[in-house]
Chain A
Amino acid sequence: ITEVCGAKRMGYFGPAQFYIALKLIAAAQSGFPVRIESIKNELPLPRFVALKNDTEVRYGTPAEFHGVKFQVPHATLEKNSYKRTDEGDKQEPKSPPMSPICSPPASPSTYQRIPLSYGYGKARSGLEHQHGAPYEVRHSTHQQDGPSSGNYGAKSAPTCSTTNRSLSVEREQQDSSTQYSDDPWRITEEQRDYYINQFRSLQPDLNAFISGSVAKNFFTKSKLPIPELSHIWELSDVDCDGALTLPEFCAAFHLVVARKNGYQLPETLPETLLPEYLQAACLKPMCDCALFDSYSEPLPSSQQARDFSRTEKSSAEEVPDNSALLQDGKKDDKQAPKVNTSLKTIPKEFQHLTVKAAAQEPNALRARPRSRSYSSTSIEDAMKKGEEPPTPPPRPQKSHSRASSLDLNKIFQQNTQAVRSGWLPPPPPALPPRPSVSQTEQPSEVELHPQMNRPPSQAEENSSAKKEVVLAQPPSKPARRKLRTEAQGLETPELSPTRNVTSSLPAVKPHLPVQKQPSKQKRAIQTAIRKNKEANAVLARLNSELQQQLKEVHKERIALETQLEQLRPVTVL
């Protein structure tokens, strides 16, 4: 097999070789002769005894590379290698065999049987083509996506795939969350959903913090000894602010779960649990939830997340294909960096998109150094969001009607291509208007939309997949989003990057939640009010601290003056 796939010749397993080798293994296991032609057959997935494939849900954010070693090379390779057309070619032959396997849309079992195909496609949820992965390869293989909307190469389309994956995850059976593949520190999709639900129970706003005492009570319920909880806190509270943001909370919860299952706590936070890593990841599940919720009840927070992902996606889309692709391909693990980088590369016009992303990263913003690691535009955007409140109300109706015209179901069920086409109709809500366009909502949005469709394959796919996810959200969301994006687009040019991020964060938050159509505006206003109140609280706290410092300085001064007085008569004498 090694020889056939060319690894011997090359001396190492490149991505193409790896895939071919896997295919050949599957062929060999099914009794086919080991030849290059064999990979063209329809093959079941190769079975690797060591992998706990069947029990694990490999979805999760694209950034997550489940511990399967095979997948890791997939992931790493995919990022860069997918770009190469030759890779794509190799994938072509592979994909057809995969597609039948992947076809059943809600096929949890299929998904699980394809641990190796993880690189190829993640869960198919019949959602968007998702695989809109920026890579052209994906594009060519989108046929597979059709039936299953498989997401190939999570890496390539991190946001998209995560969304799809998470969606599929949600549909498919969920194995016990405590199972990991090889890496116990990866959070699977269902785990993340569970953590997010827990977060919601403690703190309804997904972008806010859980205070230390609340978290302490919550984690104490897990009956772990206090020193261990203390250590878990230390590991997960990366910015050391005494509060847990959503990714921090997910990490902490994950560590608690791991500990309860017998895993020893690490000395340092594993990479997959870093907030940056989880930030993007967390958003996706939220997006997914949002997608489902769209049918039921959108939650503001999830909507926020979705919007965020949407913005990310849309922003990613709009970024020139290569840059977006490159960034996406950069790291499998860190979606956040990817998103951020892609956001960074986004031209100014898309800043409004990043605004949304920024909104999603309130925590990141809190820790200023970390927030800087994110695209600076996100901070700006966060700030811009703060200025949004006045604008939203009038918009929703307009977009609302448009949103309602969206055929969400269609979006969900169509395969990639269909998705893409279906994606087109609801342009305005999903696409934030270009700043240049600014005022005109629809035109700008429409503009964006066609533009998004323009980039041929990868970027488009990627972005469209992302956008679809976004679009798939309930109609109310698009309307709301539209407002937001428009407002943001307007705001974008004005904001100055260096500002008090923390103060802007709370301001940002109000805009994030998306509401249902009927009470959209009211809820938006309420959340905006809430966010403003939070911002006020933060500022008030800051103020009081500064006041205290001022008082101390005063006291010192007084002390010095009295000393001086005491000394003076002495010198006189």
Chain B
Amino acid sequence: QNYPLYIRSVPTENELKFHYTVHTSLDVVDEKISAMGKALVDQRELYLGLLYPTEDYKVYGYVTNSKVKFVMVVDSSNTALRDNEIRSMFRKLHNSYTDIMCNPFYNPGDRIHSRAFDTMVNSMMMQVC
């Protein structure tokens, strides 16, 4: 469980560090999910907000109703990124993810190879960096 369906970093050095950060942040996400509600898939906030800030970067989380988690790690020095921008980015991710889901050739749980998804993610990251 909790294996990555898709992972992408820009710039590509220190990629492993980001992977590690994402992985550890999954715990925080899980904690938030469980804290929110015994009542399951109520319309709790999908956007989890800042998971935890470290000295270098901030980690944001977002979880879908089907327990698919999106984790975003951004540079702390990038103060231009505001919360609503993060939210919109997550929303775009979520929309792209649902588009992928619509593809009958995609089995949920597979790694995501969709080129459209890649394009979208790349454009988003370019925008931020």
Contact = CB atoms under 8 A, between A and B. Distances in A.
Contact of B105 (A230, A553, A555): A230
Interface string A208-235: 0000110110010000001101110110
Contact of A230 (B40, B41, B113): B113
A215 B39 CA distance: 37
B105 A556 contact: no
A237 interface: yes
Given A553-B42, A556-B37, A227 B113 contact: yes
Contacts of A237: 102-103
Contact of A213 (B100, B104, B116): B104
B43 A549 contact: yes
Given A227-B113, A559-B37, A233 B104 contact: yes
Given A215-B104, A229-B105, A242-B104, A559 B114 contact: no
Interface in B38-68: 38-44
A241 B100 CA distance: 10
A240 B99 contact: yes
A242 to B, nearest CB: 4
B82 interface: no
B106 interface: yes
B122 to A, nearest CB: 12
Secondary structure of the B contact surface, majority rule:
loop
A231 B40 CA distance: 34
B115 A267 contact: yes
Contacts of B101: 242
B115 A234 contact: yes
B100 to A, nearest CB: 8
Contacts of A271: none
Contacts of B40: 555
A88 to B, nearest CB: 45
A226 B105 contact: yes
Interface in B94-122: 98-106, 113-116, 119
A212 B103 contact: yes
B39 A556 contact: yes
A558 interface: yes
A552 B100 CA distance: 24
B104 A216 contact: yes
Nearest to B106: A230
A213 B103 CA distance: 9
A20 B112 CA distance: 54
Contact of A240 (B37, B102, B105): B102
Nearest to A551: B42
A234 B114 CA distance: 8
Contacts of A240: 98-99, 102
Contacts of A226: 105
Contacts of B114: 230-231, 234
A328 B37 CA distance: 58
Interface string B15-45: 0000000000000000000000111111110
Nearest to A550: B43
A237 B99 CA distance: 9
A556 B44 contact: yes
Contacts of A558: 39
A549 B43 CA distance: 8
Contacts of B105: 216, 219, 226-227, 229-230, 233
A90 to B, nearest CB: 45
A489 B75 CA distance: 61
B42 A556 contact: yes
Contacts of B100: 234
Interface in A537-573: 549, 552-556, 558-559
A314 to B, nearest CB: 36
B105 to A, nearest CB: 4
Contacts of A234: 99-100, 103, 114-116
Contacts of B102: 212, 237, 240-242
A112 B128 CA distance: 53
Nearest to A212: B104
Contacts of B37: 555-556, 559
Interface of A: 212-213, 215-216, 219, 226-227, 229-231, 233-234, 237, 240-242, 267, 549, 552-556, 558-559
4 smallest CB-CB distances across A and B, nearest first, come from A212-B104, A242-B102, A556-B42, A230-B105
Given A549-B43, A556-B43, 10 more contacts: A212-B102, A212-B103, A215-B104, A226-B105, A230-B105, A230-B113, A267-B119, A552-B42, A555-B41, A556-B42
25 contacts: A212-B103, A216-B105, A219-B105, A226-B105, A229-B105, A230-B103, A230-B105, A230-B106, A233-B105, A234-B100, A234-B116, A237-B103, A240-B98, A240-B102, A242-B101, A267-B115, A552-B43, A553-B43, A554-B42, A555-B39, A556-B39, A556-B42, A558-B39, A559-B38, A559-B42
